[in-house]
Structure 1
Amino acid sequence: MRHIAELARQHGAQLVPHGSSTGILLAATVQFMSSLEEAELIEYSQSYSPLFRGLVKKFY
């Protein structure tokens, strides 16, 4: 992921990852994005699927 972020930076592209399959993936993606200086956007699911919300406790 860091390599992809660096490639995007080198080419003047904005990195907008999506963490949409589970709450765990969303948490990991948000943590990664917080380590980047130029992070602005993240795509995520607003689904009520059991897979997305059932793997984390009190996901809001």
Structure 2
Amino acid sequence: MNPEKVVFGFFIVLSLTLNFGFFVGEIDDPVHHNVYELFAVHIVNIIATLLKFGDRSQLGAVLLS
């Protein structure tokens, strides 16, 4: 298996779970949304987006669009 695809898949799954974890909770209560989790979401999303640019598969193209 290609290690590049494993790293790409790891960051995609991590990005999806962090986004969902930050989103869950009451929308009008800021106590339910952690600032550090938002910072982690931004960093992981930037890394995942940069990895998407280097990926030449159908999945990378779909996720980037």
Higher relative contact order (CA 8 A, sep 6+): 1
- Scaled by the length of structure 1, what TM-score is found? 0.36
**Rg comparison, structure with higher value:** 2
More helix by share: 2
